[in-house]
Amino acid sequence: MMKEKFFKYIQNLQDAITFALEKMDGKAVFKEDQWIRKEGGGGRTRVISNGNVFEKGGVNISKVYGPLPEAMQRYFGVEEADFFACGLSLVLHPVNPMVPTVHANWRYFEMYDKSGEKVKSWFGGGQDLTPYYLFDEDAKHFHQTCKNACDSHHPEFYKKYKKQCDDYFWNTHREEARGVGGLFFDRCSATQDFTMQHWYNFVTEVGDSFLEAYLPIVEKRRDLPFTKEQRDWQEIRRGRYVEFNLIHDKGTLFGLKTNGRIESILMSLPPHVQWHYNHSPKKGSEEARLIKVLQHPVEWVNF
């Protein structure tokens, strides 16, 4: 069955990613926390902190099922139903402000009618980059890796899911993007021409591309010098990251409304953040250049 197949995939992917990140960090290791959801299911949370490279990060998998809560019934426009959902979600907050934060998520969902028959199923996910100091070549590398993962499945996937990422990770109350984007896709269901196996192949190729997309950037920037002022800027920009996750992010909303595990849901929040009243960077600075790019999404592959 697809749900068992995909859950096995994310278990293995969690192992591969956490192993590679520990090797990159060279100091900190992931602490594992297994948890059970009383309504059905549970998860395996792995968190890294106070490392040489990663100040805080998590690579979590979960599998939850049972009656669909009323809030989610209203969200999906359905009556009483049961559901199954599994996925891997990760966020990494680096120490060095020259290294970007990264987020990724790959998930599978099923919904059942009162007789237990599956009536809906879909995949979703993506990966996106949030720099504090913008190195154009890093953004190009990340996006090219995303495009490579898309192109063997459909020639329009990268263009479509890049735009959906730009639209989704948009802080509407700030009129700026959270970062430089990547891919975002949701409700990917079977059609006459694209089966659920096709979607599985696509989503798993994107998942397998994550380390190739991110680790070369980390390796290139991890040892660059930085000042206290640049660290302050990183923490101010982290505040925008927090604002998005708590105001706009649908994954956070879903977790909270399905009685998900709070510690795992809020794992994405950085450990040190600043908010300054009416803060704006100096005109002509690298900080100002970042803001300008975030206000107008860039086509990085053709930049």
Domain boundaries in the chain?
2-132+182-280
pLDDT for the residue numbered 71: 73
Question: In this structure, are residues 243 and 174 in contact, taking their beta carbons and an 8 Å threshold?
Answer: yes
Q: Is 141 a catalytic residue?
A: no
Q: How many whole angstroms separate alpha carbon 24 and alpha carbon 52?
A: 9
Q: pLDDT tens digit string along 38-88? A: 889 999 999 999 999 999 999 999 999 999 877 777 777 777 789 999 999
Residue 97 has pLDDT above 60, yes or no: yes
pLDDT for the residue numbered 138: 98
Q: How many whole angstroms separate alpha carbon 128 and alpha carbon 169?
A: 9
The residue ranking higher by pLDDT, 40 or 250, is: 40
Average pLDDT over residues 100-110: 97
Which ranges in 26-76 belong to alpha helices (H)?
Answer: 70-76
Side-chain-facing half-sphere of 32: CA atoms under 13 Å: 10
pLDDT for the residue numbered 113: 86
Active site residue: 103, 153, 154, 173, which one?
103
Q: How many whole angstroms separate alpha carbon 23 and alpha carbon 215?
A: 11
Q: Name which of 77, 84, 131, 75 is nearest 103 in CA terms.
A: 131
pLDDT for the residue numbered 267: 81
- The helix, strand and coil proportions of the chain, stated in percent and rounded to the nearest 5, come to 45, 25, 30
258: confidence class by pLDDT, cuts 50, 70, 90? low
Q: Percent of the chain scored above 70 by pLDDT?
A: 99
pLDDT for the residue numbered 259: 67
Average pLDDT over residues 161-177: 96
- Judging by beta carbons within 10 Å of its beta carbon (0-12, 13-18, 19+), is residue 127 exposed, middle or buried? buried
Tokens of 138: 């890093």
Q: How many whole angstroms separate alpha carbon 48 and alpha carbon 56?
A: 6
Q: pLDDT tens digit string along 188-232? A: 999 988 999 999 999 999 999 999 999 999 999 999 999 999 999
Whole-model pTM: value is 0.94
Q: Which CATH architecture has domain 2-132+182-280?
A: 3-Layer(aba) Sandwich (3.40)
pLDDT for the residue numbered 167: 97
Please work out, in degrees rounded to the nearest 5, the angle formed at the alpha carbon of residue 154 by the alpha carbons of 189 and 144. Answer: 115
Average pLDDT over residues 83-108: 97
Average pLDDT over residues 115-120: 89
CA distances in angstroms from 217 to 12, 27, 99, 116, 131, listed in the order given = 23, 19, 7, 46, 11
